[in-house]
Each structure stands twice: as structure tokens, then as C-alpha cells.
Amino acid sequence: MAIVGIDKLSLLDYEDKVSVVLFSKACNFRCPFCHNGDSVLNAQEELSFDDILAFLKTRVGLVDAVVFTGGEPTLEPDLEVKMKAVKDLGFLIKLDTNGTDPELLEKLLDDKVVDYVAMDIKNSPSLYAETCGVNFVQIENIKKSIAIIMSKAPDYEFRTTLVKEFHERMNYDAFFELIKGAKKLFLQRFVDREGCIKKGLHDVDELEAAKLRDYLLSKGLEFVTLRGY
């Protein structure tokens, strides 16, 4: 697994936990609003996993969890091996994923390697590929991953980063059908940062974000809240 970045202390990436965040390089999406564009698109020096483990050993008892994010961690062939090595130190494991590999996701959950899953739900199906910056997305895999997470993850969240250029055309009904039955959804405010793949995108204003939140709550989702507004 090519780990190209580490955040040695985060209070934001694992709810109510202190975490260390590991960034993998590979990604099969090119979301224009991605904040990790530099890591995904440009050459990055790979960090030694032995050095990472040595660092994590110094944080036992001080940090609760390790977050595997990216890029897209499920593209890495040795993801589970590295997760198990970290988990053996006593840390909780969180996986950030785009949900394109439901088989691996299910294996990680069946093997009880992952304690928390955060999956990005990019948009309603007809806009999914465009929002991801690619020509095609296998929506059935996205649906499978959502179902696996809801049925097998010890804890989880879904999240959608709202970008005006992509989400002002969202089909609310179709989006709801994707996540029907979910217990937790965060609607995240987009911030145009230096590392974004595409410059000049805009956030969805709070009133419009609240409109989507209220619609989803009215349809029966258990928990929908705005993040970053």
C-alpha cells in the first residue's frame, strides 16, 4: 500500500476519537472538488510502513484510532495486511472509501478489521460519473457497498460534499433512494482549497443545503446534518 501522507494528530476524522490519518495515493476517481489533488495527480514520495508502525507504537494509549484514507484505500492490494498490523497495536480502524469495491469492503467487515466506515455518496445516479470526474461509474457497486455498510459495519457514516456546479442539479428523489435506511448522513460544505483538482468551484449556500437536509429528514432518514456550515 503506497502511503504518501500522514496527519499525526486529528480530532476531526473519527467522530469523538483522537486519530492518526494515513493517506494512500491511488484513486480511481478524479473528483474536481477533491482536496487531495496533489497526492492523487502528482508524484509523491512513499512513506515507510515500518516507520509508520514505529511511530504508532509511540502513540499507544495517547491516540484512539488510525484512519485509512486517500485517494482510495481499497485499490491497495495489501490494505488488509496493513490494517491488521495497526489493529494489532490496539487501535480502532476507520476506512474512508468511495464504495467502488464492495467485495473487499465486505471482506474487511466480515474479518472484523474495520470499526468505522465513512463512505462518500457523490450525487444522484445520473450525475455520479460527472461528479467523480470520470466517464463511467458502476452504480450497482455503489449500491452494494451502501447495503453492506448498513448491514455489517459496526459504525458508519455517509457523507456528501455539496458543490454548486454538481449538486444544484441533484435529483433529490433518486439520491434518497440510494441511501434509504441509512442511520447517518453528513452534508458537507465545499471549501475551495489550494489542493483542489479544479479551481473556481463554489459551495452550495446554507439555505439550499438545509433544503436538501429537510427533504431527506421528511422522507424518513434517521439523522441528516450539515457539516461545515
* pLDDT tens, residue by residue, 87-99: 999 999 999 999 9
| Ranges in the chain, pLDDT < 50 | none
- What's the pLDDT at 25? 87
Coil, strand or helix at 176: helix
- What's the pLDDT at 45? 85
- What's the pLDDT at 35? 81
C-alpha count within 13 angstroms, C-beta hemisphere, residue 166: 27
The residues, ordered by sequence, that sit 6+ positions from 195 with a Cβ below 8 Å of its Cβ are 34, 35, 36, 37, 38, 39
Nearest-10 crossing angle of helices 139-152, 102-110: 10
CATH class of the region 3-227? alpha beta
Sign of the dihedral defined by the CA atoms of residues 71, 31, 193, 94, in that order: negative
- φ, ψ of residue 97 to 5 degrees: the values are -145, 155
pTM over 0.85: yes
Grid coordinates representing 171?
A: 435529483
Residue spans per domain, the chain: 3-227
* pLDDT tens, residue by residue, 207-222: 999 999 999 999 999 9
DSSP string of 66-115, one letter each residue? EEEESS-GGG-TTHHHHHHHHHTTT-EEEEEE-S--HHHHHHHHHTT--S
Give the amino acid at 38.
D
Nearest-10 crossing angle of helices 139-152, 172-179: 50
Coil, strand or helix at 39: helix
- What's the pLDDT at 169? 94
- What's the pLDDT at 187? 98
- What's the pLDDT at 194? 81
